[in-house]
Structure 1
Amino acid sequence: MHEYSLAMDLMESVLAAAAENNASVVNHISVKVGKIAHVNPTQLEFCLKSIGEGTIAENAEYSFEYIEPEIQCACGYFGKPNETEDSLDMLEYLVSLVCPLCGKNVEVIGGTELVVDSIDID
């Protein structure tokens, strides 16, 4: 489960930001997750809570927001890919991404992010 190592990095960032701002408690952590980032928010939250035990983030609440994929094509197209079937697995989905204008392969430029969007501290 790679979510644990991702959660470690996120929690380090949260605790560093809290320390820089002389916080005594972290109340809420908001995380943005790219839809094609290969991250399960439920598992990530479990890991964050586990890692946060014994820290000022021990009782923090979490919220997760998905970031939609964005693509860019050599023909000049920039935007969202065409919708595909939800039954596709991630690899099939990424391979199936083509430009809605010209039909050529595209570069994925968004939707793979995993970032702490905000933290609420006291």
Structure 2
Amino acid sequence: MHEYSLAMDLMESVLTTAEDNNAKIVNRISVKVGRIAHVNPMQLEFCLKSIGEGTIAENASYSFEYIDPEIKCACGYFGKPDETEDDLDMLEYLVSLICPLCGKNVEVIGGTELVVDSIDID
């Protein structure tokens, strides 16, 4: 489960930021997850809660927002791929994706992120 190592990094960032701002408690942590980041938000939340035990983030709540993939082409095209039914289909789609303008392969430039978006502290 690679979510545990990702959660370790995220929690370290959260706690460092909270301590730098003299927080006594972390109330809420908002995380942005790219739709093609290969991260399961439910597993990530479980790991974050486990790692947060005994810290000022012990009782924090979590919210997750998905970031859609974005693509670009050497011809100048920039945009989002067509919608698919689920993330697995999205991955298969992106592997074979071609530019809607020129027909060449595109570069995926967004949708793989995993970032702490905001931290609510007291």
Settle same-fold status: TM greater than 0.5.
yes
Show the counterpart of 2:30. 30
Matched to 1:21, the amino acid is N
For 1:27 and 1:34, how far apart are their aligned partners in 2? 23
CA contact (8 A) 2:35 2:68 kept: yes
Gap change, CA 1:87 and 1:47, over 3 Å in 2: closer
Q: Following TM superposition, by how much is the alpha carbon of 1:71 offset from its aligned partner in structure 2, in angstroms? A: 0.4
> Is 1:43 aligned to 2:43, yes or no?
yes
CA contact (8 A) 1:28 1:120 kept: yes
For 2:78 and 2:26, how far apart are their aligned partners in 1? 38
CA contact (8 A) 1:82 1:100 kept: no
5+ long unaligned stretches in structure 1: none
Matched to 1:113, the amino acid is E
5+ long unaligned stretches in structure 2: none
Matched to 1:105, the amino acid is N
Show the counterpart of 1:14. 14
What does 1:41-120 correspond to in 2, within 5 Å?
41-86=41-86, 88-89=88-89, 91-120=91-120
Structure 1 segments, 4+ long, off by >6 Å, are none
Question: Deviations for 1:31-79, whole angstroms, at most 9, x for unmatched residues?
Answer: 0000000000000000000000000000000000000100010110001
Q: Following TM superposition, by how much is the alpha carbon of 1:102 offset from its aligned partner in structure 2, in angstroms? A: 1.9
TM-score (norm. length: structure 1): 0.93
Q: Following TM superposition, by how much is the alpha carbon of 1:14 offset from its aligned partner in structure 2, in angstroms? A: 0.1
Matched to 1:99, the amino acid is C
For 2:109 and 2:56, how far apart are their aligned partners in 1? 35
Q: Following TM superposition, by how much is the alpha carbon of 1:85 offset from its aligned partner in structure 2, in angstroms? A: 4.7
Gap change, CA 1:96 and 1:9, over 3 Å in 2: same
Question: Greater shift after overlay, 87-96 or 30-39?
Answer: 87-96
